[in-house]
Every structure is written in C-alpha cells, then in structure tokens.
Structure 1
Amino acid sequence: MVTLMASPDFLSCESLTAPVEVGKQHESPQGFHAIRHGGIATQLLLLPGSATGRSLMALVPLDSQTLGRVEALVRFWRSCHRRPVPPDTRMTIHQRRRLRLMMQASDGRKNGASYREIATAFYGTGRVASNAWKTSSLRDTVIGLVKGGGAMISGGYLQLLRHRRRA
C-alpha cells in the first residue's frame, strides 16, 4: 500500500505534471482507500486533506518494512510516469509457480482428490505411473504442496507481502 498526503507548499518545487488517477475511493477513518489501475495495480491510502488533483507526497514509515515500501513506491512512481515497471521482487517466478501449485493442490484435496489424483493432474499419468507410488518423489512433492497450501490458507500468505531480509 502506498500512503499519500498533500504536499506542503514549501516542498512543492515543481508543478504537478499529471494528476494521480485512482479508481473509486472508499472513505475510512484513516482517509480514502483506492486502487490505481495503470501499468500495475496499486493500493493507495489518501490521508485526510489529500486531493488527487494537487501535489502529493508519499509517507513512508521508518520501520522493518521500509525497504519494501520504498520499492513499492518506486514501482508506483514509474507506473504513474509510464516508465517500465520492474517486476516485484518479493517472489521469484519459481515461488509464484509453487504458490499456484500449493493452492491448486489444497483445493483438490479439500474437494476429495487423493494425492495420486493431484499428482496425475500436475505431472501426467505416465510420469506418476513410472515409479512405485509409495516411494515416489512426486508423492512427497504433492504432500508438501498440500501442507504448504494449508499453511498459506491458515494465514501464512501474509508473509508473501514482506521481503525476507538477510541479517
């Protein structure tokens, strides 16, 4: 989420080139929530007194999530100025694929599919049949996907929103 507020007059050194276009705004005690669709979808919080037609500034709390917020702000700014937006670095392509498989495996299991049926859907009949099922690495993989999907459903998905930082 990018938090925006009215820029004080003493900081506004250049005129606003183009207003920030936001979708439908929903009022809340914090201000107005909106989604900006353009290049990338960005969740915005416009603090009270902010108007999208005037000069705005971003508010970035200095805490453990600062670097992730700054990255989101850069992506938002590039999108607003029609510049190439770099990919989100919170998840790699491999992690996105695994997350999708976890959700599909959990959904299949919840709907009564066996681990073998899930493996067949993911990897094909030939690959599943090529090894003894009880000792198959595909069986272990599918069980791990179902467990991981269950953990995500139980609240683990919140970790996806945060960068893992090296100590």
Structure 2
Amino acid sequence: MRTPAGLTNDAGPPLGWPSPQADHAASDGRHLLLRGASGPDVQMTVLDGSGPNLPLAALIPFDADLPARVAALLDAWHALSGRPRGQNPLTAQRRRRLILGLRALDGRAAGASYRALAAGLFGVDRVPSGAAWKSHDLRSRTLRLVADATALMRGGYRALAGLPPQFA
C-alpha cells in the first residue's frame, strides 16, 4: 500500500513530549514511559533518529489485532495531547452486572449451586427456600448472569471491548 503524497510531508506541529518518567536505551530504540497530560502513562518505543521536537509516526501491523492497536494508539494520543477521551461505553449498571456475572462464573466454576450463588450475590435473606426457589426472580437472574459470563469467557469479551471476532 502506498502512502498518499499529501500525507508524507503534512504531519503538522508535533505533540510535545513530556519529560520521560523512565528512559531505557535498547537495540530496537529507546523505551520511554511518559506521564500523560490527561489520563494514564504512555509506554512507547522510539526508533533511532526520533526526538521530542520531531513529529511522531506510528507503525501498526495490519493483522487481526489492528482495531485494538488503533484504539491503544488513540488512547496514547489522548493522554499525550491532553485532550479528553470519549465517554466510557459501559454504564455503571452494565459494569455492576459484569462484576456480578464474573463472580457468579467463578462461583460456578468452584462448584457452587445456583442457590448458593444467589445467596452470595444478593444476600441469604432474599433467596427463598423450598419449591419457591424454582420460579423465583433471583434464580432466573443468577442463571442469566452465569450464562452471560460464560459467553464472555468464550470470546464474547471481544464484542464488549469493540474488537472483531477471532477466526481460527
């Protein structure tokens, strides 16, 4: 693939590099840990001949992980440029449900019954005893939590993270 001529010399003003928190010279370039202006620290390898006053360019392999690599690059750009990131697509309610699902999956993998899971997740006094358990809402919720978490474990996390499915 050829780079369009207009892109090669039109990099614009370079982002200023903050002072590195760590700087290690290696055979493949310099490994830097930069404190982000807004957000997390950024780790990068800078090839020989690059410097803080020169425009940066990213080399990204065109492979199955390209969307994840581009997302990580965009996160680094946001952190170094001080621009705010977009909103987290996971609502607080969705995060709570994911946490409950993972706890339920861990309990199920450890051999806990659905009734024991419901008692651990929602409280012992909320779980009915006897035949009432079979048609109770907490039983249905617990079954769905385990099923949803199992689907995530089997590759559904990629959809959650906005990544394409992997093909064998």
TM > 0.5 between the two? yes
Q: Check 1:154–1:42 CA distance in 2 against 1; reply closer, same or farther (3 A cut).
A: farther
User: Would you say 1:88 and 2:94 are equivalent positions?
Assistant: no
Q: Name the residue aligned to 2:166.
A: none
Partner of 1:118: 117
Question: Share of identical aligned residues, percent?
Answer: 32
Q: Is the 8 A contact 2:20 2:33 kept in 1?
A: no
Counterpart residue number, 1:97: 96
Distance 1:105 1:36 in 2: 38
Deviates more, 1:48-57 or 1:138-147: 48-57
Structure 1 match to 2:136: 136
Aligned residue for 2:152, secondary structure, equals: helix
Distance between the aligned counterparts of 1:14 and 1:33, measured in 2?
A: 23
Residues 19-77 of structure 1 show CA distances to partners (whole Å, capped at 9, x for unaligned) of: 5969899x9xxxx99987745458878797794743124689xxxxx999988766543
Range moving further from structure 2, 72-81 or 137-146: 72-81
Q: Is the 2:104–2:145 Cα contact (8 Å) retained in structure 1? A: yes
Instruction: State the partner residue of 2:3.
Output: none
| Larger Cα-atom Rg | 2
Check if 1:151 corresponds to 2:151.
Answer: yes
Q: CA deviation at 1:96?
A: 1.7
Which stretches in structure 2 are left out of the alignment for 5+ residues? 1-6, 61-65, 164-168
The residue correspondences of 1:58-73 to structure 2 (distance < 5 A) are none
Gaps of 5+ in 1: 1-7, 61-65
> What does residue 13 of structure 1 align with?
12
Q: Which residues in structure 2 correspond to 1:11-50 (within 5 Å)?
A: 11-18=10-17, 38=36, 39-41=38-40
Q: Within 2, Cα distance between the matches of 1:35 and 1:151?
A: 36
| Paired residue type of 1:144 | R
With a CA cutoff of 8 Å and minimum separation of 6, indicate the structure with the bigger relative contact order.
1
Q: Aligned in 2, Cα 1:70/1:37: closer, same or farther, shift over 3 Å?
A: same
Aligned twin of 1:78: 78
- For the aligned residue pairs, the C-alpha RMSD in angstroms reads 4.2
Q: Please give the TM-score of this superposition, normalised by the length of structure 2.
A: 0.61
| Distance (whole Å) between structure 2 residues aligned to residue 86 and residue 12 of structure 1 | 24
